[in-house]
Amino acid sequence: MPGRFVYWMNVSLDLRIEYAPGEAGGGDWMRITESLHRVFNERARAMSLAVEGRTIYETMEAFWPAARHDDSLPDFLREYGEIWTSTPKVLVSRTRQHAEHNTRIIGGEDAIAQLAKLRAEAEGVIGVGGATLATQLLRAGLLDELLLFTHPVVLGSGRPLFDSHDEPLQLDLLEQASFEEGVTMHRYAIRGARPAS
């Protein structure tokens, strides 16, 4: 299957990804249970590649590599640490010059063109992390899917799923599921995404 960019995010019912600045995916409004995290692990393991903006990358980098060997953590968290660390990653950054954990860096004015080339040459799911990066890919017609885990809370303010978008975004439902604590998952194809070529 050709490479496709999939923006994966935990969201509130009003499509916020952060309530307070700096939550970085860890807000206490999220209802992430062990069984849900095992779903995350399974999805992450199936990715051929992860593409992350600097903020989300540095959040992940600060915790998950060490989590692999932390016996005080439950096995599903140690497992996710191993998955994240070993998955091939691309860090999109103008400021970082070095990254470890199976990561290469792209940046500069042609970063989106580089990502388009990467998508054309890759196969399978390419996970996208970070609202700024996802917004840039969406504007370029390169974002293929949304994978949203919706938590039953209305935040009312905070960081939205995308930075901004000027017109309605038409989606087609590909998959849905329900989990404990009222969390739902919806995977959508984005209409109008450019074919990988």
Q: What is the pLDDT of residues 23-51, one digit of tens each?
A: 766 788 999 999 999 999 999 999 999 99
Provide the residue range defining the domain that includes 124.
Answer: 4-190
Q: 186 lies in a domain?
A: yes
CATH of the domain at 174: 3.40.430.10
pTM attached to this predicted model: 0.94
The pLDDT, as a whole number, for residue 194 is: 87
Q: What angle do CA 6, 8, 10 make, to 5 degrees?
A: 160
Q: 169 lies in a domain?
A: yes
- Token duo for residue 150: 């919706």
Using a 10 angstrom Cβ sphere, with 0-12 exposed, 13-18 middle and 19 or more buried, the burial of residue 49 is: buried
- Tokens 């995010």: give the residue: 9
Find all residues with CB under 8 Å of 47, minimum gap 6, and list them: 87, 124, 125, 126, 127
Q: What angle do CA 5, 120, 170 make, to 5 degrees?
A: 40
| Cα→Cα distances 97→14, 33, 118, 130, Å | 36, 36, 19, 19
Q: 135 lies in a domain?
A: yes
The pLDDT, as a whole number, for residue 24 is: 65
The pLDDT, as a whole number, for residue 197 is: 67
Q: What is the pLDDT of residues 127-144, one digit of tens each?
A: 999 999 999 999 999 999
The pLDDT, as a whole number, for residue 151 is: 97
Q: 197 lies in a domain?
A: no
- Token duo for residue 78: 């140690």
The pLDDT, as a whole number, for residue 109 is: 86
Whether the CB-CB separation of 37 and 77 falls below 8 Å is answered with yes
Q: 52 lies in a domain?
A: yes
Q: 99 lies in a domain?
A: yes
Residue 187 DSSP label: E
Enumerate residue ranges in the chain where pLDDT < 70.
Answer: 24-25, 197
Helix (H) or strand (E) holding 138: helix 131-139
Q: What is the DSSP string of 149-170?
A: EEES----SSEESSS--SS---
Q: How many domains does the chain have?
A: 1
Q: 76 lies in a domain?
A: yes
The pLDDT, as a whole number, for residue 22 is: 75
Q: 195 lies in a domain?
A: no
